[in-house]
Structure 1
Amino acid sequence: MWESYLTGLVVCGGIIMAIGAQNAYVLGLAVRREYHWWSAGLCMSADIILLTAGMFGVSAFLLTMPNAMEAMRWLGIVFLSWLAAQALLRAFSGRQGLNAEAVQGHSLTKVIFATLAVTVLNPQVYLDTLLLIPAIGAQQESAGIFVAGASTASILWFSLLAWGGAALSPWLSKPIAWRMIDGLIGLMMATIAVHLVLASAAFS
């Protein structure tokens, strides 16, 4: 039982850390303290729902719908490219650093919809939570315990992003710090988009 839990914890933890779009967006909100716990909570909830669904049958259904997966892939490419362009524009043009009087740039509604978009329009999320992780979980003694371990990894990771980003915000009062952060986020988003394009070309 504990072996199934630890396997889910380690496997899911490593995969979630590699899903850059969600991580970059949550971290960006956290360092600005813009509803970052709402965003992190949505990411956790989405992971738990998708992991549970993947372990109990959705993965087999999706394998019969390659066109749907390809459509999601291209929607994700467009959205990630848009986020990358925005971040890189901010990196080149610059903006104010963080301070106590800074006006929040995003409303809660915008944060919720953007978080959902980063999650829903990222085909890597589906490949990992509905196909790859369940394939490993199917080999475990207990599928339920494996999902519990995988869900724990998601909760711990996004909590760390939300808390760590907010904790670092006092050191991010200089505009140059935000240029660096925006540049890294933009490059990460662009890299993921290019990777999705290449993956689509490879399967076509």
Structure 2
Amino acid sequence: MNAPDYISGFLLGLSLIIAIGSQNAFILKQGLKREHIFFISLFCAVSDALLISAGVAGFGAITVQYPQIVNIAKIAGMVFLIGYGLQSLYASVRISHAITVDGQAVTGLKKALLLCFGFTWLNPHVYLDTLVLVGMVSTGASSKLAFGIGAVSASFFFFFALGYGARLLRPLFTKPKAWNLLDAGVGVLMFYLAWHLYQS
């Protein structure tokens, strides 16, 4: 395997997903609650792998030729973010239950994966980052395969590290008030991201 291309792909992939966003905020929250971390991290990583593979294979040219694909995702993403933001703000003003602190699952796996699906596939920026940007940069690599594997590896590394690493912050969330503040922060973040989508 071409090591320089692998490293370039890894660093690019990591730089694109490390910024806090709706998907990362959701994984962080699930990691703090220890709810379905493995399946959620796997879903996000596999989704990224599919999109990155498509981008490296040249699918990004289709999104450039047919921008309405991204526009549809943009509208759907705004609606989804506003809805989840309202839900988070509502959760921030109610009393948190001890069950969210002792590690027992509150959110069912099916619901968690559906939410994760929305944060991932209804985010138009993920298409621009993976299909277009990664696809374009990969054309300069001597080994597109090594570059793509590097970018995919970054996704698997980051999502699992975020999900399982969230437990290090767990002592800060032993009080229900901390969960209220987290929900409020997530709610505000969702509205900001929806506004950012509207402006883009």
Equivalent position of 2:101 in the other structure: 99
Equivalent position of 1:202 in the other structure: none
TM-score (normalised: structure 1):
0.91
Tell which deviates more after alignment, 74-83 or 59-68.
59-68
Q: Which segments of 5 or more consecutive residues in structure 1 lack a partner in the other structure?
A: 200-204
Letter in 1 for 2:59: V
**What is the CA-CA distance between 1:103 and the residue it aligns to?**
5.1
Q: Which segments of 5 or more consecutive residues in structure 2 lack a partner in the other structure?
A: none
**What is the CA-CA distance between 1:169 and the residue it aligns to?**
2.8
Equivalent position of 1:18 in the other structure: 19
Equivalent position of 1:29 in the other structure: 30
TM-score (normalised: structure 2):
0.92
Equivalent position of 1:8 in the other structure: 9
Q: Which whole-Å deviations, capped at 9, do the CAs of 1:102-122 have from their partners, x for residues lacking one?
A: 653211111111111111111
Query: Which secondary structure does the structure 2 equivalent of 1:139 belong to?
Result: coil
Q: 1:13–1:150: 8 Å Cα contact kept in structure 2? A: yes
**What is the CA-CA distance between 1:20 and the residue it aligns to?**
0.7
Q: Which whole-Å deviations, capped at 9, do the CAs of 1:14-57 have from their partners, x for residues lacking one?
A: 11112611101111111111112111100000001100011102
Identity between Structure 1 and Structure 2 (%): 30
**What is the CA-CA distance between 1:142 and the residue it aligns to?**
0.9
How many positions carry a matched residue from both structures?
198
Q: 2:33–2:101: 8 Å Cα contact kept in structure 1? A: no
* Matches of 1:71 and 1:81, distance apart in 2: 16
Tell which deviates more after alignment, 169-178 or 129-138.
169-178
Equivalent position of 2:45 in the other structure: 44
Equivalent position of 1:131 in the other structure: 132
Equivalent position of 1:62 in the other structure: 63
* Matches of 1:138 and 1:184, distance apart in 2: 39
* Matches of 1:109 and 1:155, distance apart in 2: 21
Residue 60 of structure 2 is aligned to residue 76 of structure 1: no
* Matches of 2:21 and 2:183, distance apart in 1: 14
Letter in 2 for 1:2: A
**What is the CA-CA distance between 1:186 and the residue it aligns to?**
1.6
User: What is the CA RMSD across the aligned residues, in angstroms?
Assistant: 1.6
* Matches of 1:48 and 1:62, distance apart in 2: 17
Equivalent position of 1:88 in the other structure: 89
Tell which deviates more after alignment, 3-12 or 171-180.
171-180
Q: Which whole-Å deviations, capped at 9, do the CAs of 1:63-116 have from their partners, x for residues lacking one?
A: 22112211110000000111111112222334235433x653211111111111
Tell which deviates more after alignment, 170-179 or 119-128.
170-179
Residue 174 of structure 2 is aligned to residue 173 of structure 1: yes
Change beyond 3 A, Cα 1:99–1:19: closer
Q: 1:19–1:124: 8 Å Cα contact kept in structure 2? A: no
Letter in 1 for 2:71: E
Letter in 1 for 2:8: T
Runs of 4+ aligned residues of structure 1 deviating over 3 Å after TM superposition are none
* Matches of 2:171 and 2:42, distance apart in 1: 23
Query: Which secondary structure does the structure 1 equivalent of 2:35 belong to?
Result: coil
Residue 136 of structure 2 is aligned to residue 145 of structure 1: no
